[in-house]
Structure 1
């Protein structure tokens, strides 16, 4: 029997959903097959264990009384395998079924972006990790995170906590990368990092703070003040949607409206505040 170990499957779940094997990629792009994609996503998200028919039926049809749930599941598994048919590995090998249990075949080499992010996070905050190595790993992790976990399935009850978890990891890694750049007084890198983070996590106050501060420290005081004011305007124009700006954020105005020769004193304050927000090592 062929083992297919010459293929490594790459699975994206952050910012979209796709499966790549060799030079072939299948992507979630057909709303008519939403249940089939959802089943595939669930099998991959929980690929480390076998999943029973009752569990899958409950997840797929939570509020529906099916006349033949077992038959409905088998029909959906057939449709799900059809989604995988363009790949160079038989769909029956990828999605296996035995004695009423289903699973994604973990015997075929596979990389999943969420698991890669977990590994990078652990290395970044390891007690033995050095700053330059941390920076390299942070940049790698930030490039890996493309957005929300399974965005087209974001309303599913099992997706919500996983999305919250990886969003939190992303923000912690981003804050560490900003911290390192601040320590090196590399304000251009801080600006680049902040803009990347805000393209994915629009309302992270600390990132807005760091962006305004880095703009100021790089010599662009008008842009710093403009960004600060735009953030305040957004908060105050959307009452109830977001928590009000913290005292920490509003105190930023005094710093970025100050004379240039006060920068160094302000930098010590910023670095101290950043260090307080750094997650403990794991």
Structure 2
């Protein structure tokens, strides 16, 4: 049976332990940890921070659904244009790319420490001077190293595809997983991303059976060509009943994590409304 989690990336105006406690108040059984500022930017996340997180988890009884290492915005003091997600595992600069690989390993360490089953990362966007064929070589080299580390830690790593990234749809993610050939590598399946890529989210679930490290949920207005803006369930066109039926159909028993970072001004309201909209599918 699928369980519901909520990501702390909606609670960026709160300290991490406060975010965990607030999420627990809304009925969720899981919490996704943002591995970036202001919650767990790993170079600055020390033993005291980890202890505070572990205390909040113990007191609330929440399980960690995923360590979200998609963004590392704190890396730059003055971020360059088009740097969203950067530095990535396909970045052309060797030192920056190695930094992101090591950052992902640190996220895996945190996942192991707080009993999270998985970490998610994006492929990154091929920026000017980094054509897709070259970026793909960087991708595979990075993933071989990351997957080896994840296997030794017994943590899964989910590639999260997204339109305009190097890996931007279900089939591309599955191709990468197949070619890397590691049991530790899967897909963190964001079903809103599937929708704006023109896919049927429920069919994407069925395609990914056996390879899902985690699920991200949000509502989206429109399909292909729709706006990639995360909305509370019921405010868009996603068929959540079909999604949960597909998850049940493949025997998925992990977390489906609401990712509503678009509501930093009202995260409690977003969390409450999302849970109310989706609890019928997990009762």
With the length of structure 1 as denominator, give the TM-score of the two structures: 0.26
Q: Which has the higher contact order (CA 8 A, sep 6+)?
A: 2
Q: Which protein is richer in helix relative to its size? A: 1
Q: Which protein is richer in strand relative to its size? A: 2
